[in-house]
């Protein structure tokens, strides 16, 4: 399966935590969406997931549902100073001012994360029914679900999600848990979406099986260009649109990129995890997410 060369955002320098990604064709490319004709063929999807480590499902969710949650998020967070008062909260435009971090943290963890509004998007009937169909079993959604926003211009170590694979954090359950990353609004490359290291799941699976990769989460790196050289592989990016989702295995290496959007849009996304109900569940992930939960 051939991936496309990068053609998005001509002249854009893609960075992650301040590291600039190499722009050569052997280090950077575009993610390949699942063709429309394959979307209802479970065997083809499984073959694709095994080969690529991810499924890029365009237009999976109704865009109005996604942007509706975006509006709720920024309406709620306006009390902390997040978002421009001159634009609709649905647009998620950054006002550029300072934030009340205490209020923002309280709103995030005490209001948004446990809300029925967040539960409605992460437990959307289309998501639940798809995982039941794809996994061929009753499914379990991990209660620990993460929301991230990245303001334009934020950079440096710790701003974007560093390179990792999800099994690093999910050692106490099945290794067949699947993650879904949902951009909550349009998220072109310039806004700092998720990027995947092409084919990395194959090497990670092999090294996990041999016991070479059972390292603590602290071993994650922010140096995406160096990791691409180490794996002799490409970082794959995409111009995500509201309604798109990414499903990926627990073994593929992925990371976030910096938001350099010229229109001052804030990148908002969530990542959630589903698995077969019949398989071992990591009990540590069955509480609402907090930034001090140690995971």
pLDDT tens profile 50-61: 999 999 999 999
Structural domains in the chain, CATH included, are 37-279 (2.60.120.620)
Angle (CA) 263 266 269, round 5°: 135
Would you say how long the chain is, in residues? 295
Q: What is the pLDDT of residue 8?
A: 47
Query: Does 122 score more than 50 pLDDT?
Result: yes
pLDDT tens profile 248-288: 999 999 999 999 999 999 999 999 999 999 999 999 999 99
Phi-psi region of 164 (alpha: psi -120 to 50; beta: other; left: phi over 0): beta
What's the half-sphere exposure (Cβ side, CA atoms, 13 Å) at 131?
26
- How far is 86 from 252, CA to CA, in rounded Å? 40
Query: Does 2 score more than 80 pLDDT?
Result: no
What's the maximum distance between 2 C-alpha atoms anywhere in the chain?
56
State both tokens at 185: 């609004």
Q: What is the pLDDT of residue 220?
A: 73
pLDDT tens profile 35-91: 999 999 999 999 999 999 999 999 999 999 999 999 999 999 999 999 999 999 999
- How far is 248 from 252, CA to CA, in rounded Å? 7
Q: What is the pLDDT of residue 208?
A: 82
Query: Does 10 score more than 70 pLDDT?
Result: no
3-class DSSP state for residue 236? strand
Query: Does 291 score more than 50 pLDDT?
Result: yes
Query: Does 3 score more than 50 pLDDT?
Result: no
User: What percent of the chain stands above pLDDT 70?
Assistant: 94
Q: What is the mean pLDDT of residues 14-18?
A: 91
C-beta of residue 214 within 8 angstroms of C-beta of residue 165: no
- How far is 274 from 167, CA to CA, in rounded Å? 13
Paired with 187 in beta bridges are 240
| 216 — pLDDT class (breaks 50, 70, 90) | very low
Q: What is the mean pLDDT of residues 13-22?
A: 91
């Amino acid at each position: 399966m051939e991936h496309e060369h990068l053609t998005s955002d001509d002249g854009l320098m893609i960075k992650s935590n301040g590291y600039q990604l190499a722009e050569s064709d052997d280090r950077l490319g575009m993610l390949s969406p699942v063709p429309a004709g394959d979307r209802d063929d479970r065997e083809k999807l499984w073959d694709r997931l095994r080969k690529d480590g991810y499924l890029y499902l365009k237009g999976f969710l109704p865009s109005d549902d996604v942007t509706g949650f975006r509006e709720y998020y920024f309406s709620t967070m306006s009390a902390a100073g997040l978002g421009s008062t001159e634009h609709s909260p649905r647009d998620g435009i950054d006002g550029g001012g300072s934030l009340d971090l205490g209020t923002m943290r309280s709103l995030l963890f005490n209001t948004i994360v446990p809300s029925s509004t967040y539960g409605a998007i992460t437990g959307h009937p289309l998501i639940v029914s798809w995982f039941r169909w794809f996994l061929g079993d009753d499914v379990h959604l991990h209660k620990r679900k993460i929301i991230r926003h990245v303001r334009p211009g934020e950079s440096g170590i710790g701003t974007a999600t560093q390179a990792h694979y999800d099994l690093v954090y999910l050692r106490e359950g099945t290794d067949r848990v699947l993650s879904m990353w949902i951009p909550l609004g349009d998220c072109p490359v310039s806004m700092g979406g998720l990027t995947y290291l092409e084919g990395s799941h194959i090497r990670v699976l092999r090294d996990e099986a041999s016991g070479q990769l059972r390292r603590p989460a602290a071993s994650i790196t922010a140096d995406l260009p160096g990791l691409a050289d180490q794996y002799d592989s490409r970082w794959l990016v995409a111009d995500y649109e509201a309604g798109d989702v990414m499903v990926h295995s627990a073994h593929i290496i992925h990371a976030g990129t910096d938001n350099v959007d010229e229109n001052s849009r804030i990148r908002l996304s969530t990542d959630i995890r589903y698995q077969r109900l019949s398989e071992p569940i990591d009990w540590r992930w069955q509480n609402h997410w907090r930034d001090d939960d140690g995971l």
